[in-house]
Structure 1
Amino acid sequence: MMIEALIAVSLLSAFAVFLAPDKVAGKLAFVLSLLPLGGSLWMYSVFEETGASGNALLGGTLAFEETFQWVALGPYTLNWHVGLDGISMPLLVLTTVLTPLAILAAWTPIDTRQSQFYGLMLFMETSLLGVFSALDFFVWFVFWEMVLVPMYFLIGVWGGPRRKYAAIKFFVYTNVASLVMFIGFIALVFGLGDSVNTLDLPAIALALNDGQLGGLGAVDANTLKVVAFFAMFAGFGVKVPIVPFHTWLPDAHVEAPTPVSIMLAGVLLKMGTYALLRFNFTMLPGVAKDYALLIAVVAVVSVIYGAMLALAQSDLKRIVAYSSVSSMGYVILGLVAFTMYGIGGATFQMIAHGLISGLMFMAVGVIYNTTHTRMVSDMSGLANKMPITVAVFVAGAFGYMGLPLMAGFAAEFFIFVGAFESTVLAGTALGTHGLALFTAAAMFGIVIVAGYLLFAMQRTLFGSFDLETDYEVGRAAFHDVAPLVVLILLVILLGVQPDIFYTMIQDAVGEMDLIAGGGH
């Protein structure tokens, strides 16, 4: 019952903070957020002892699994089914690590309706824990949609001048995407007919991979697979986001307060890539392989286009926001490789990017708290005024560039190795190792990333101090700097010892190249 306890503690903490006075809400929320963190770290420490192995959707043995019948819905049984494998365990830990750090980062900028703000942050954590642990589609979908509610209010109430526009745009994009995804998945369930009588994700995945999908009305099985695959791909692609579904993200990030941007980039975007891995690439690997060329194009376009858009920005927050679009392109490239290193690297990139992007948004937030501007052209020479913040910002930027011995390098290295090994494009005109060409193009994205980050750092952090402001610029408060230091240490730790997560990830994804009928 550990997963249920984790979710319950987080939910009860949210209600407790809602009822607390504003003057203690921030500190209470931080203390209570340490409870799920402690629980998840204990679960991680005993993960191997539980005997967990393999993939949750491919008959693997799960850790902390619980299942019982919930309610009958026509011919289908809805079950409370939760459990963790080597893919979901690291994401659960990532969620519980970033939440208290984001709450700590909120102490300076959030000064109104604090109990509501921190309560919504904890409610969002509750929803995310459910997304990464639920194994019944109905339960999973409830948690998936629950995430939208706190995020909408966190942006719409505590955001910047255009917060209402950004919140509505975020809600409309992601809600419509959820509807498209829902239709695609339910069509698959109906197409399976009597072969399944549940919405249990492992049962549906095994039935699909056993070839039990039939037609649906006038639509034959093969067409249904393709239509459902791209409906889900588009729905999840909005959440990632991939080009061309990315336009909601910069607006949401720019208008959202710093702690919300930390959770949005650090965890919420991973919902999309996690769902793509679970649904598209695990349930319908044959379709993914058949359309691997198209998916690889989408991945590389996201990498290059996101990086080019970041290069054109003058707002530090927009620069980091577009960097996320570029980084998520690497995840798609790793998934479509259908090799152990490719899929494993894509999953590891979710964790690495979660830490690094959270760090970067946090650093930009600390700079903004002090200077009250995020414009590159408005400031210079901050290194002498904010040495610790600037040092961490520079380290995080080099992590984004893929500096060795940092988590970003390990993730991208695994992805590139897996993509170079891949034979998924063997049936195309590009030949057996055609994906290597896309990998080479994606590597060029690293050069662009280095270009815009180095320019932004040179312009804002170094040189003589120049800032037209009425505010005194000095060292940031301890509670602002402490989360930055924790995150950069975690980024370095995962870069030096990627096996902290990569061993369990590799165990969970090792058989996925086989179900696609190729790869290594």
Structure 2
Amino acid sequence: MLIETLIAVTFVAALVVFLTPEAYAPQVAFALSLLPFVGSLFLWTRFDASGNALLEGSTVAFETQAQWIALDPYAINWHVGLDGVSFPLLVLTTVLVPLAIMSAWTPIQERISQFYGLILFMEASLIGVFSTLDFFVWFVFWEAVLIPMYLLIGVWGGPRRKYAAIKFFVYTNVASLVMFIGFIALVFGLGDSVNSFDMPAITQALHDGQLSGFAGLGPDMLALVSFIAIFFGFAVKVPIFPVHTWLPDAHVEAPTPVSVLLAGVLLKMGTYALLRFNFTMLYDVAATLAVPIAVLGVFSVIYGAMLALAQQDLKRIVAYSSISSMGYVILGLVAFTVYGIGGATFQMVAHGLISGLMFMVVGVIYNATHTRMVGDISGIADRMPITAGIFVAAAFGYMGLPLMAGFAGEFLIFLGAFQSTVLPGAPLFTAIAMFGIVIVAGYLLFAMQRTLFGAYRLETDYEITRAPLHDVVPLFVLIALIILLGVDPDIFFTMIQDAVDPLVELGGGL
């Protein structure tokens, strides 16, 4: 019952913060957000999973099963558990939320209790997404994440917040609907071989060849159509080209703490779901479509980086960088090698920390200067030396500087992709993707040179001074974690590799 306790504590914390007077809400929210974090560390000390939670013969950590709703012919059960793929993302969530809450102390000055309550409500839903093993319950948590994110953008966002919030909600909700239809068609096609929405049972039935025709489609065509529908639904959440246009608007209009969680955790919902559904349940279809999937991934790498190069808003630069980084994850997944899929999973965590740090740094600069435009800021390193130093460190982490988490993730992906026997032309795809690092270095170095160094020219009616301590502390914590994972990737990669090995054997990779 440990996972249930973690979810319940986080929901109760959200309710308490909603009822807390606004004068005390920031501190109370931060204190209560430490409970899920401590809980995840406690789970870490007792983590004993082996294998992949969806595959037969695996041991799932903290697993709980109980019948919930009996429907004919399908039952909806409460089924939760963690493996080496889901647990690192749960830890990432519980780490980023307290830091995002602390980073919100300066910019959030109205409806404070509601803001922090929604953050904690979203955290509880995210824990559910990464731990649930019954599709129907998982889908409830998946959709529940949309509600607080929509409100956080639409109420506390920038001048075009309503447009950005509606665009975010429409894109992701339509995508979820398409994904839901595709998955349900797959379940119906399994006929009597399954009697619930249990994800491991559905996976096993698919691997045993139990899929038959449905709605006039034969089993092969049904698997292909369902795969495309499910892939589309999750690709929007990632996002990858060409369904990415909601992301820059959402980031630009969202408050900085919300951007931290959007880039740090919510985008990982999409890549995590792709790994679980498309590349585990329907691994054979994924291998068949390896080339077009790799094309989408590599194109997202280059296209996202080129768009970032053309931006003047610091937030848009980081937003488009996320599209580029998620393209690397797609390439790693489709490689079907231990280092490819394992590196992609590791990169989800690494990018969550690095992108969160980048958005926090941009937020600290904006709190002081009230602008994010590269052309309006210059020479602030002298006035905000600590923030500028962390900006430089975060940017080099994004470029893949050795001994930082980004380097470990990208190196593993490139190594795994280059060795792939599933992806035709794997060395070529890998080489093109590696060129994206050059573009990343170009736009980040350009942005740093324009904003941090040179003659100070920002015209304001107030003095630019060093950031307050509560703005800087989360930056130091994140940079320390990024270096720690870069120096010792096995903190997570050992458990990730254990969960990936059985999947690679299925996919025929190395």
TM bucket by the smaller chain? over 0.9
Q: CA deviation at 1:40?
A: 0.1
Q: Quick one: which of 479, 483, 501 aligns to 2:470?
A: 479
Equivalence for 2:23: 23
Q: Quick one: which of 495, 498, 506 aligns to 2:489?
A: 498
Q: Is 1:467 matched with 2:458? A: yes
Equivalence for 1:90: 88
Equivalence for 1:454: 445
Equivalence for 2:369: 371
Equivalence for 1:188: 186
Q: What is the aligned-residue RMSD (CA, Å)?
A: 0.6
Q: CA deviation at 1:464?
A: 2.1
Question: Partners in 2 of 1:234 and 1:475 — Cα distance?
Answer: 45
1:9-43 per-position Cα deviation (integer Å, ceiling 9, x unaligned): 10000000000111101100000000000000111
Question: Partners in 2 of 1:309 and 1:484 — Cα distance?
Answer: 26
Q: CA deviation at 1:73?
A: 2.1
3-state SS in 2 of match to 1:74 = coil
1:404-457 per-position Cα deviation (integer Å, ceiling 9, x unaligned): 00000000000001001101135xxxxxxx111001000010000000000000
Question: Partners in 2 of 1:348 and 1:141 — Cα distance?
Answer: 24
Q: Quick one: which of 114, 126, 129 aligns to 2:124?
A: 126
Q: CA deviation at 1:336?
A: 0.1
Q: Quick one: which of 263, 266, 273 aligns to 2:264?
A: 266
Structure 1: gaps spanning 5 or more residues: 427-433
Q: CA deviation at 1:360?
A: 0.1
Q: Is 1:439 matched with 2:430? A: yes
1:445-473 per-position Cα deviation (integer Å, ceiling 9, x unaligned): 00000000000000000112221111210
Identity %: 75
3-state SS in 1 of match to 2:463 = coil
Q: What pairs up with 1:79-228 in 2 under 5 angstroms?
A: 79-228=77-226
Question: Partners in 1 of 2:391 and 2:499 — Cα distance?
Answer: 33
1:493-512 per-position Cα deviation (integer Å, ceiling 9, x unaligned): 00000000000000000121
Runs of 4 or more above 6 Å deviation = none
Q: What pairs up with 1:282-301 in 2 under 5 angstroms?
A: 282-301=280-299
Question: Partners in 1 of 2:89 and 2:13 — Cα distance?
Answer: 21
Q: Quick one: which of 487, 498, 519 aligns to 2:509?
A: 519
Question: Partners in 2 of 1:315 and 1:326 — Cα distance?
Answer: 17
Q: Is the CA contact 1:78–1:199 (under 8 Å) kept in the aligned structure 2? A: yes
Q: CA deviation at 1:519?
A: 1.4
Question: Partners in 2 of 1:141 and 1:335 — Cα distance?
Answer: 22
Equivalence for 1:53: 50
3-state SS in 1 of match to 2:121 = helix
1:502 aligned partner, one-letter code? F
Question: Partners in 2 of 1:387 and 1:256 — Cα distance?
Answer: 26
Question: Partners in 2 of 1:503 and 1:163 — Cα distance?
Answer: 41
> Once structures 1 and 2 are overlaid, which stretch shifts more, 66-75 or 396-405?
66-75
1:240-280 per-position Cα deviation (integer Å, ceiling 9, x unaligned): 00000000000000000000000000000000000000000
3-state SS in 2 of match to 1:81 = strand
2:430 aligned partner, one-letter code? T
Equivalence for 2:340: 342
3-state SS in 2 of match to 1:155 = helix
3-state SS in 2 of match to 1:403 = coil
Q: Is the CA contact 1:130–1:140 (under 8 Å) kept in the aligned structure 2? A: yes
1:59-78 per-position Cα deviation (integer Å, ceiling 9, x unaligned): 21011111100011221111
Question: Partners in 2 of 1:261 and 1:170 — Cα distance?
Answer: 13
Question: Partners in 2 of 1:459 and 1:473 — Cα distance?
Answer: 17
Equivalence for 1:429: none
3-state SS in 1 of match to 2:23 = helix
Question: Partners in 1 of 2:322 and 2:215 — Cα distance?
Answer: 41
Question: Partners in 2 of 1:471 and 1:440 — Cα distance?
Answer: 48
3-state SS in 2 of match to 1:82 = strand
1:51-93 per-position Cα deviation (integer Å, ceiling 9, x unaligned): x100000021011111100011221111100000000110000
Q: CA deviation at 1:339?
A: 0.4
Equivalence for 2:240: 242
Q: Is the CA contact 2:30–2:102 (under 8 Å) kept in the aligned structure 1? A: yes
Q: CA deviation at 1:484?
A: 0.3
Q: CA deviation at 1:513?
A: 1.7
Equivalence for 1:37: 37
Question: Partners in 2 of 1:462 and 1:436 — Cα distance?
Answer: 39
Question: Partners in 2 of 1:486 and 1:401 — Cα distance?
Answer: 20
Q: Is the CA contact 1:209–1:515 (under 8 Å) kept in the aligned structure 2? A: no
Equivalence for 2:65: 67
3-state SS in 2 of match to 1:383 = coil
2:509 aligned partner, one-letter code? G
1:187-206 per-position Cα deviation (integer Å, ceiling 9, x unaligned): 00000000000100000011
Question: Partners in 2 of 1:27 and 1:513 — Cα distance?
Answer: 45
Q: CA deviation at 1:299?
A: 0.3
Question: Partners in 1 of 2:43 and 2:279 — Cα distance?
Answer: 27
Q: Is 1:256 matched with 2:254? A: yes
Question: Partners in 1 of 2:10 and 2:155 — Cα distance?
Answer: 22
Q: When the two structures are superposed, what TM-score results if normalisation uses the length of structure 1? A: 0.97
The number of equivalent residue pairs is 509
Question: Partners in 2 of 1:194 and 1:322 — Cα distance?
Answer: 45
Q: Is the CA contact 1:370–1:471 (under 8 Å) kept in the aligned structure 2? A: no
Q: Is the CA contact 2:334–2:423 (under 8 Å) kept in the aligned structure 1? A: no
1:53 aligned partner, one-letter code? S
2:389 aligned partner, one-letter code? A
1:203-227 per-position Cα deviation (integer Å, ceiling 9, x unaligned): 0011101111011131000000000
Question: Partners in 1 of 2:252 and 2:326 — Cα distance?
Answer: 19
Question: Partners in 2 of 1:318 and 1:469 — Cα distance?
Answer: 23
Question: Partners in 1 of 2:13 and 2:216 — Cα distance?
Answer: 50
